[in-house]
A and B are shown apart, each in its own frame.
Chain A
């Protein structure tokens, strides 16, 4: 399968197979007008299988989302067809309006103007908790 190389934009490579779609959703890539490719289950020497996302536009990308979904991966930043930076993405300490608190008793469930903020409370186990009610993300 061939996907054209890009001139200006990003290549998010070595995404753990299966997480590409979640990343695509959380980065709101469906809202872009430019060329965007999500390639699933590409053969990889290192990972066996991987997902790749290519974005052919110099958009304002939220690296925290990438760090949350798949910490440790690399984003290649492309300018004029050349890789100008390989950005190593760490797990963010805080997430703002990336995920929503699902606790029906949380104040964010009734006050729509509040930012949904999660803090990394356990780096080893990748646990984020709501800043307001301390509910674990994904619970």
Chain B
């Protein structure tokens, strides 16, 4: 059974196909309004994530399907001690496809091993969040017309930021990509990502602690939040949380066609005064996320022979 657990589960061609379908959904929504009629998406959210859950639910409703599920572990059988494997087997009897968010890394993989319907990883701890990466890719595709020959700056928490690791992984498969890593010393990109992804794929990269110095050369600036929940130590979080704040004056030397992205939610790392700048793309990312999830649900249901 085909599932999406890691963005690299899909080939470059499959991602291209997904983005093409997502673009067609944007242009011709009426074509897709009833395609999943009578089908059910189960949203199994073992930790709260309003944005991702509602994006999946909106995606399924706009395809004409229905949604069942839960939004936190307390309201599921997990609170009674049920294993992920048993939950996956049970839900396979009720639904056509699963979107799972779980605080433990690898839980959606375990679900996919045991379910008889497709499983989409909607985020597992600090590990993977492939549908966020698909939303990012669709946004870059729509803003830049493709992925080749781009200089992409990643700023903020590059150590724990799973969206950063995933997007770097996905972009490493295209040619002419350059990466600029902007972070405090303590939150630098882990060496294994540099070695296994950037060096292995011959992607040139530079590291800096200065956002101002890096900004003039960037085509894309991908900002991230320093996430409280990834720290064991509150003191470290408080010390690092305000490392980078993007304000209008920092964009003075930026390119006119820079795309500013952020996986959201933001705390204060992008000033609200940037929101009206035409280069701000983070709310477009949210919308693109819904469309690409629609394309993903369609692809997996088709491959499973359910539509």
| Chain A interface residues (CB < 8 Å from chain B) | 103, 105-111, 113-114, 121-122, 130-136
Contacts and interface: CB of A to CB of B under 8 A. Distances in A.
Contact of A107 (B110, B126, B192, B196): B110
Contacts of A103: 105
B107 interface: yes
B125 interface: yes
Contacts of A106: 104-106
Closest 5 CB pairs of A and B: A132-B106, A133-B105, A107-B104, A107-B106, A105-B125
Contact of B109 (A121, A132, A136): A132
Contact of A105 (B84, B85, B105): B105
Contact of B125 (A111, A121, A133, A136): A133
Interface residues of B, number: 17
Contacts of B125: 105, 133
B196 A131 contact: no
Given A121-B196, A132-B110, A134-B105, 18 more contacts: A105-B103, A105-B104, A105-B126, A106-B104, A106-B106, A107-B102, A107-B124, A108-B106, A109-B104, A111-B83, A111-B85, A122-B196, A131-B106, A132-B105, A132-B107, A133-B106, A134-B127, A136-B192
Interface of B: 83-85, 102-107, 109-110, 124-127, 192, 196
B8 to A, nearest CB: 11
The A contact surface, by secondary structure, is: loop
B109 A111 contact: no
Contacts of B85: 111
A58 to B, nearest CB: 35
B3 to A, nearest CB: 14
Contacts of A134: 105, 127
Contacts of B84: 107, 111
Contacts of A131: 106, 109
Contacts of B192: 136
A108 B127 CA distance: 14
B110 A114 contact: yes
A136 B193 CA distance: 12
Contacts of B124: 107, 133
B105 A111 contact: no
Most buried by B among A103, A114, A132, A135: A132
Contacts of B106: 106-108, 130-133
B135 to A, nearest CB: 22
A108 to B, nearest CB: 7
